[in-house]
Chain A
Amino acid sequence: MNRLKAFAYFEPAALKEAVEILTRNNGGAFLLAGGTDLLVRMKRGVIRPAVLVNLKRIRDLNGIQGDQESGTRIGALTPIADIENAAVVHQNHPVLAQAAGVLGAPPLRNLATLGGNIGRASPASDMAPSLMVLQARVAVAGTSGQREVEIDGIFKGPGSTILAAGEIMTAFIIPAMTPHTGAAYLKMGRRSGGGDCALAGVAALLTLESGEVGKVRIALSSVGPTTLRARKAEAVLLSGALTDERMQQAARAAADEATPITDMRCSASYRKEIIKVLTYRALQEAARKARGGMTT
C-alpha cells in the first residue's frame, strides 16, 4: 500500500510565518493546500518533501467575494467545489463554475483548491484556461511584501511558475466582464462529465460589439508544456463579423498552434483533433452566451 514518508510539519497561523518557513528551507518545503495532487506525488515517490507547510490555518485565504462592478476575488485556499457552487461565480463568471464542475471527481473537488490547481502549474489544469481568458491576476505574498501578476505569464514550464522560492499565491482577482461577453470551457477526458485528467481542453471568450468580434481569447490545456493562449486562432476572429466559417478556421488554427505530446492517455495527433473540435464548440457556446446578453 502507498504510505507517506516522514516529513517535518508546520501549520502557520499567519502568512508571514509561512513565507519565513519557505524561505528558511530554501526549496525543501512544499505548501499543502488541498493535498489531492501533493500527497499523491509523495505517495508515488515522485517528490519527497523534507517539510510540509499546511496553509489552512491562515485566515482569509479561503473565500469568494465580488460583485458585477468590481469583479471577483477568490482566495487561494478556496475549494473547487465552492467555486462550482457559488452564486456570485455563476452570476459574474459562469465559465469558472463550468470549469470547476469538470475538475476531477466530486469528492476531490471538496478537497482541491484553486491555489493548488494553479500553483501546481500542470499543463492539464482545468482552471488555468478559464482564468486566462478572463484575464485574472494572481495576488502573491513574499518576503518583500505583496505583488500582483498576470496569470497569462505565470507558468514557466510543467510544474514551474515564475514565483520565487519564498512566494505564496494568496488570491485570484478576476476583472468584471464587459456586456455582451460569453465564455465556455470544454474538456475531453476518458470519463464523461469530468472526473478524469483532461486529454485536452479549451476555454474561449468572446465579446461582441454591434455584432462584430470586439474581444476574443482562447486558451488550451494539455497540449503544450503549459496552458497555452491560442493567439493565431484569436487573430483569425479578431475584428469583423463572427461567422461559422471563421469559427471553423479559428478552430483549425488552434489545432495548428497546439504542441501536444503522445503519452499513455492518447496520441498527439488525436489531441490536435480534439482541440479543433472543442475550439469550434467552445466558440459556438461563447457566441450563444454573448448574444444572449449574458456575461461570462
Chain B
Amino acid sequence: MKITVDIIVNGELCREEVEVQTTLLEFLRGTLHLTGTKEGCGLGDCGTCIVLLDGKPVNSCLVLAADAHGREVTTIEGLAEDGRLHPVQQSFIDNGAVQCGFCTPAMILTAKALLENKPDPGEGEIKQALGGILCRCGSYRKILKSVQAAAKEAR
C-alpha cells in the first residue's frame, strides 16, 4: 500500500510516494539519500537515528514517514548555513568530540534543540538531554565539553 507524503526536510518541501511501512529514517536515507542520519539498533534504544521533528528530537526509526506528513524535519545536513557550520557543529570539531562519528549527528541535533530551549543548561541538564544517545567510542566527556563551549560561545 502506497501513500503520498509532503514533508518539509531542511526547509524544502519534499513530495514523495512511499510504502506505508517506510520509516522516516528509511525515507531520509533511502528516498532522499540524506545519509547523515544513521541507523543503529532500529528499535529506539541507541538514539543514533535522532532527527528534529517540528524542532524536537525523535528517534526516526520509530516514526512512519506517513506520520511525518505535513511536518518539518531537520537533519544534520540542514544545519550549516551558506557553507558555515552551525556553532554546535563547529564546537564538536574544535573540542575533538568526534571519534567514529556514528552518534555525532544525533548528538549535535539534540544539543541544538536543547540550547534553543535552554541557552544556559547545567551539566546535569545536558547529560539528561543527551541521555537517549549511546556513544560506543565513549567520547561523552568531550561531547559534554563541546555543548558547554557552544552554549558559552552563544552568550
A106 CB contacts on chain B under 8 angstroms: 57, 110, 128-129, 131-132
B56: interface (CB < 8 Å) = yes
> Looking at the complex, which one of A8, A32, A44, A195 makes contact with B43 (CB distance below 8 Å)?
A44
A107 CB contacts on chain B under 8 angstroms: 47, 50, 56-59, 110, 132-133
Task: Name the distance in Å between A15's Cβ and chain B's nearest Cβ.
Answer: 18
Nearest neighbor of B110 in chain A, beta-carbon distance? A107
Contact between A9 and B20, CB atoms less than 8 A apart:
yes
Instruction: For the complex, give the distance between the alpha carbons of A81 and B129 in Å.
Output: 12
Task: Name the distance in Å between B114's Cβ and chain A's nearest Cβ.
Answer: 9
Instruction: For the complex, give the distance between the alpha carbons of A110 and B129 in Å.
Output: 12
Contact between B56 and A81, CB atoms less than 8 A apart:
yes
Instruction: For the complex, give the distance between the alpha carbons of A105 and B131 in Å.
Output: 6
Contact residues of B between 58 and 82, Cβ < 8 Å to A: 58-59, 61-64, 66-67
Q: Contacts A5-B21, A43-B42, A107-B58 given: A35-B67 contact, CB under 8 Å?
A: yes
Chain A contact residues (Cβ within 8 angstroms of B): what range?
20 to 34
B21 CB contacts on chain A under 8 angstroms: 3-7
Contact between B47 and A105, CB atoms less than 8 A apart:
yes
Interface size on B (CB < 8 Å)? 33
B23: interface (CB < 8 Å) = yes
Main secondary structure of the interface of A (DSSP, over half): loop
B1 CB contacts on chain A under 8 angstroms: 6-9
Contact between A7 and B20, CB atoms less than 8 A apart:
yes
Instruction: For the complex, give the distance between the alpha carbons of A111 and B1 in Å.
Output: 24
Contact between B66 and A11, CB atoms less than 8 A apart:
yes
Instruction: For the complex, give the distance between the alpha carbons of A56 and B67 in Å.
Output: 8
Interface readout for A196-238 with B: 1 if CB under 8 Å, 0 if not?
Answer: 0000000000000000000000000000000000000000000
Which residue numbers of A lie inside 8 Å of B, CB to CB?
1-9, 11, 32, 35-36, 39-40, 43-44, 52, 54, 56, 81, 104-108, 110-111, 191, 193-195
Which residue numbers of B lie inside 8 Å of A, CB to CB?
1, 3, 19-23, 26, 39, 41-44, 47, 50, 53, 56-59, 61-64, 66-67, 110, 127-129, 131-133
